[in-house]
Structure 1
């Protein structure tokens, strides 16, 4: 079959994965990326596939929805997953990556593929002549949740309805050498109970007594934050709630959430702390650490003042401050076909967070699926979606399911059909996982997708 030409707008996780899958299948791809000429408020480098929030891709366990999704993506020969695995840094049962090494590797993969032509340009309209010329077989909008105002307006005009949106917060990053290691200890949750040697583990931990926590909590609740613009209604995605917003729900919310002390023993006292702030390595040499679960919209001086109240962080030096930005997405069940094509503009597809998925892995998965689907169709083959019992099928199903108020979602077992059998709560995840693995294996064997 002769090759077809596609245009991909956006060199983020979804755009890079989609472009590489199309090019691997022998199709010509023009990837339009606005960096380094223009950057959104959340981006700091000129590389593709930049991870703007955490460097964690979350759990790698098969008994989690995201762990299953990653396993399915590996089976589908995802470049995103292969690169993430190669750039892994210690993070316990989670998959975390050296964000700079990961972005460099993804950028090199895109630039090195002979089937991909990278154009550094900002696309403001779907009527752009070069975009239309290069996207003969399809235009994929993977501009991310921070698409330019012009492109967002163009999509809004086509859809004929207002965008939905939510606010996303980023956690601060500190230099590891600035931490007080006489207070901060290394350990994994439940590490001591599981025979982990003292001083081992993938996380650094800042233990707090009740008095220290209450001082930190009071300062957090009173801290000055970045103001929302008057015309924007602030709607947070539950998985990225700012720490100070969580704190306002009650004094123990944090100790049962991101600062929970369960599974830790403070080496100085031999007892469980009242609260624990965890830090995860940002890169392979662990020079910097991410404050786990501490995404915030506090003003920068407030971040320094308040987080330095945490024991062990009194002299913390900040490599990056937390921040807040608006993430944009469409009402997928109303705006898109089951193939992720704009209902009001055939030939234009959406991938990544702008399509209504949430999270690094989910964004890359949507780009992977769209690349495989469009490549198959351009070659004269039909590629049915994975069944809803699988992680990828459940994620795609979320984008098709009409809801009174559609919101982006991570992958989780709640998106899958109910189990046919009754089971105890602690057994349900394993049963969901086993069913998903069997369904995906059957689908993959019949799909004709090459996974080697």
Structure 2
């Protein structure tokens, strides 16, 4: 009898897992509760909908760990990366995409695959038999979240994730703003002008910080005690850590020259990145927020160039749950108490679109190999994939486990390389060279 792989959740991880398993010859059913059951952050019923940023971050596969992860996913015929490449937007050295066509294409490819079917059934329990991957992400439904807690015997850990606002391009005052990527980074003129910049003088910056700190914020419900993930801090939380924090973070004024006043160095700069191919929408980079809607419009219109800004979407905040993977999962991403179930994506404690899709890629391949009765070689620890899965399934300290982006700190050292900042470029290149070689060997063995 044909065995079917059930995948719960049609986000980045679930979509990639389904694609990988189907391409290996396994029949897949994706259980995605949207649009029948909605969430706070999603706007459509599309698979792989991007709800926060539209960026997959750096695409540098020699000096950046997430860029290396891009490379490994492309080498493995990853659906998410190939679709991202097809809908790429100018973003300097980053991989940003036109979010709606991206999700529509992922959805169309999966629905057209002869081995994939999609249902809007909401799954609220953990089955005792069959082959399952749970990739429900940060917005796991309350009923399923309760089932997971009941099975694991402990509360799922949690943190709060924030969403940045999106501005209509035609409402931005270009007599004050200008287009430029930091340090003019990019191979084409379009890439070198991928970001829209709004400069601030010292007094403007100080007034902005005052307003940010005084603005009315969303209050958490009683009993919600989660923290924040440092890679996605609300802008007002950063400001609370010190008045200069934003000038050394998303508002740093380096690598930019204001053509409206080339002899004046801005005290701070707010950057916006194109959010769609038409160039009609821009998201404010690094401006995730928990301010209430009315406060957001008042505060953000203090930014020079955004005085009359019209917002396609305001920012928001939601609860993000994840399991203690080092305790609960084995090396094959299976739930130790129910080995017929795998977990993948952000719910495992990885952070970011790319990392989530990468863990979906591995879970899909592992589940498909198990269904087909084949042994999948161990994922090489010196690859980006291997470093990440090793971290979440045993390398991290369970007592202090928190969401993690891929980074070179997860990689085993390369012998013979000097440390320190001066040797960092050579060290990172050595990491990526070794990872690419190991990953390609693994793919050839699969």
TM-score, length basis structure 1: 0.94
1:137-166: CA deviations, max 9, x gaps? x11101111111110111111111111000
Matching of residue 165 in structure 1 with residue 158 in structure 2: yes
Matching of residue 309 in structure 1 with residue 302 in structure 2: yes
Q: Tell me what 2:75 maps to.
A: 75
Matching of residue 121 in structure 1 with residue 114 in structure 2: no
Q: Tell me what 1:409 maps to.
A: 404
Q: Give, in angstroms, the shift of residue 47 of structure 1.
A: 0.8
Q: Give, in angstroms, the shift of residue 195 of structure 1.
A: 11
Matching of residue 273 in structure 1 with residue 266 in structure 2: yes
Root-mean-square deviation (CA), in Å?
1.9
Between 9-18 and 381-390, report the one with greater CA deviation.
Answer: 381-390
Aligned counterparts of 1:94 and 1:389: Cα–Cα separation in 2: 24
Q: Give, in angstroms, the shift of residue 442 of structure 1.
A: 3.5
When residues 430 and 66 of structure 1 are mapped into structure 2, their CA distance, relative to the original with a 3 A threshold, is farther
Contact (CA 8 Å) 1:387, 1:440: kept in 2 or not? no
When residues 402 and 203 of structure 1 are mapped into structure 2, their CA distance, relative to the original with a 3 A threshold, is closer
Contact (CA 8 Å) 1:383, 1:447: kept in 2 or not? no
**2:323 aligned to which of 317, 330, 333:** 330
**1:155 aligned to which of 136, 139, 148:** 148
Matching of residues 3-22 of structure 1 within 5 Å: 4-22=3-21
Aligned counterparts of 1:181 and 1:234: Cα–Cα separation in 2: 40
Aligned counterparts of 2:179 and 2:332: Cα–Cα separation in 1: 46
Contact (CA 8 Å) 1:15, 1:352: kept in 2 or not? yes
Aligned residues: 441
Q: Give, in angstroms, the shift of residue 226 of structure 1.
A: 0.6
**1:252 aligned to which of 230, 238, 244:** 244
Matching of residue 435 in structure 1 with residue 431 in structure 2: yes
Q: Tell me what 2:102 maps to.
A: 102
**2:221 aligned to which of 226, 229, 246:** 229
Contact (CA 8 Å) 1:187, 1:202: kept in 2 or not? yes
Q: Give, in angstroms, the shift of residue 265 of structure 1.
A: 1.5
Structure 2 regions of 5+ residues with no counterpart?
none
Q: Give, in angstroms, the shift of residue 383 of structure 1.
A: 1.8
Contact (CA 8 Å) 1:228, 1:234: kept in 2 or not? no
**2:287 aligned to which of 285, 294, 297:** 294
1:325-376: CA deviations, max 9, x gaps? 0000000001111111111112011011001111000000000011112222
Matching of residues 123-202 of structure 1 within 5 Å: 123-127=123-127, 136=130, 138-191=131-184, 201-202=193-194
Q: Give, in angstroms, the shift of residue 184 of structure 1.
A: 0.6
1:291-333: CA deviations, max 9, x gaps? 0000000000000000000000000000001000000000000
SS of the residue corresponding to residue 190 of structure 1 reads helix
Structure 1 regions of 5+ residues with no counterpart?
none
**1:445 aligned to which of 436, 441, 445:** 441
Q: Give, in angstroms, the shift of residue 430 of structure 1.
A: 4.0
Aligned counterparts of 2:133 and 2:190: Cα–Cα separation in 1: 50
SS of the residue corresponding to residue 346 of structure 1 reads strand
When residues 433 and 384 of structure 1 are mapped into structure 2, their CA distance, relative to the original with a 3 A threshold, is farther
Aligned counterparts of 1:327 and 1:357: Cα–Cα separation in 2: 12
TM-score, length basis structure 2: 0.95
